């Protein structure tokens, strides 16, 4: 059992305050967030032991969705029950969501050379950040020829079958290839998880997830609000491998449809690197800034709930059954292939739309390379890289 006997269930307010502090200070992306969580809840607060925390992280990395937010949601559930889970998500998510909504409202005010230079600098930041994500994920998820080949096939699928259909196909093909090519070398299974989630609740969560996946596309034609929820719910259902993977999925949903201008999309993605908390709050920016109504605060709320909901439903559904499932070699092999395909999807997105929209000349290339080196070699915090590159691009626009 991973829940120590001397740990009592805490108050919802305690959970909210603990996660609000992290929501205001957790820069650096999902891997850094997991480190912050370990320091706060394993070492300092002792809400869960080391073995249980490692097991929980393994589960959330296996499932689609934002891994760090799923871990936080589960820790809130462990400490404060269902209301604790909701409090953990709200406290960790709202600071960055509020900042990005404010940026969305102010984005249209960036006219003239200074504003244009600032927005272009944020797009260049996106090149550096996505390149760092591809580099780091490739080293971890494609360490051999077989998985590198799966990633390459995923790139080709995405190129020749544009949009979300190509990305879904790449993940499916990657999982199938993993079953054939990535068997053996079973991952260690560690201990087991203990959460107050019944099998009935798990099945109900999975049933609700399936119902929404099936019904939302059918109902999307009836209103833009449902279409908005459907697009972001579907994107949140397909994200394997970290928050940066949501970029191509969201781009395929909102840019070709004309909901969001590509330049505005990339500027918001650059701004998302400068705020703490989960990268999935980029959805709040898109919901606020898009052209059709509902937009603004209403659009941001719909997009934010929709993109997080599938990951949380899948987590609740998996908790009662995870121990038995993850020990199966077939599941491990499929996930190795799917994760390799994710690298290919993100690699294709690095070229288009990120590179093609941001790197327009030698100066942009130099800025993007500088940002990449600052992130990967100098280990500079992302928010500092955002500030430096945005300021540099603004200055260059005035020369």
Span 30-78, pLDDT tens digits: 767 888 898 889 888 989 887 778 778 878 877 888 888 999 999 999 9
- Percentage of the chain lying above the pLDDT 90 cut: 43
pLDDT band, residue 267 (cuts 50/70/90): confident
Span 321-332, pLDDT tens digits: 876 776 788 888
3-state SS, residue 149:
helix
Give the pLDDT score at 110. 59
Given a contact cutoff of 8 angstroms between Cβ atoms, the answer to whether 164 and 349 are in contact is: no
Alpha-carbon distances of 37 from 32, 34, 114, rounded to whole Å:
9, 5, 39
Give the pLDDT score at 189. 46
3-state SS, residue 399:
coil
Is the confidence at residue 336, as pLDDT, over 90? no
pLDDT band, residue 370 (cuts 50/70/90): very high
pLDDT band, residue 248 (cuts 50/70/90): confident
pLDDT band, residue 4 (cuts 50/70/90): very low
pLDDT band, residue 301 (cuts 50/70/90): very high
> Residue 149 corresponds to which tokens in the numbers above?
């080949």
Q: How far apart are CA 112 and CA 122, in angstroms?
A: 16
Span 173-190, pLDDT tens digits: 999 999 999 987 655 444
pLDDT band, residue 7 (cuts 50/70/90): very low
pLDDT band, residue 387 (cuts 50/70/90): confident
Q: How far apart are CA 239 and CA 223, in angstroms?
A: 25
Give the pLDDT score at 151. 95
Is the confidence at residue 356, as pLDDT, over 80? yes
């Amino acid at each position: 059992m991973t829940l120590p006997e001397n740990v009592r269930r805490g108050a919802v307010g305690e959970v909210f305050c603990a996660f609000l502090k992290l929501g205001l200070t957790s820069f650096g992306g999902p891997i850094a967030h997991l480190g912050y969580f370990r320091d706060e809840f394993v070492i300092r607060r002792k809400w869960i032991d080391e073995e249980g925390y490692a097991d929980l992280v393994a589960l959330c990395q296996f499932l689609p969705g934002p891994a760090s937010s799923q871990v936080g949601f589960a820790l809130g559930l462990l400490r404060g029950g269902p209301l604790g889970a909701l409090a953990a998500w709200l406290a960790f998510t709202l600071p960055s969501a509020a900042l990005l909504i404010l940026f969305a409202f102010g984005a249209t005010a960036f006219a003239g050379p200074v504003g244009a230079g600032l927005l272009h600098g944020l797009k260049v930041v996106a090149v550096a950040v996505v390149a760092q994500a591809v580099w780091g994920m490739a080293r971890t998820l494609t360490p051999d020829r077989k998985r590198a080949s799966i990633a390459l096939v995923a790139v080709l699928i995405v190129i020749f079958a544009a949009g979300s259909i190509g990305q879904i196909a790449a993940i499916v093909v990657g999982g199938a290839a993993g079953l054939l090519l990535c068997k053996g070398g079973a991952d260690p299974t560690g201990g087991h998880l203990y959460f107050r989630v019944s099998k009935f609740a798990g099945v109900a969560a999975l049933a609700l997830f399936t119902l929404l996946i099936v019904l939302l596309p059918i109902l999307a034609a009836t209103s833009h609000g449902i279409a908005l929820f459907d697009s972001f719910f579907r994107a949140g259902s397909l994200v394997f491998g970290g928050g940066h993977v949501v970029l191509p999925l969201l781009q395929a949903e909102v840019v070709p449809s004309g909901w969001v201008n590509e330049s505005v999309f990339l500027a918001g993605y650059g701004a998302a690197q400068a705020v703490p908390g989960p990268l999935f709050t980029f959805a709040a920016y898109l919901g606020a800034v898009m052209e059709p109504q509902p937009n603004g605060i209403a659009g941001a709320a719909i997009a934010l709930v929709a993109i997080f909901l599938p990951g949380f439903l899948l987590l609740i559904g998996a908790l009662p059954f995870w121990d038995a499932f993850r020990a199966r070699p077939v599941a491990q092999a499929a996930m190795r292939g799917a994760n390799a395909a994710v690298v290919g999807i993100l690699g294709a997105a690095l070229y288009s739309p990120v590179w093609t929209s941001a790197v327009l000349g030698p100066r942009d290339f130099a800025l993007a390379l500088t940002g990449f080196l600052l992130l990967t070699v100098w280990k500079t915090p992302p928010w500092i890289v955002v500030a430096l590159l945005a300021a540099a691009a603004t200055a260059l626009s005035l020369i």
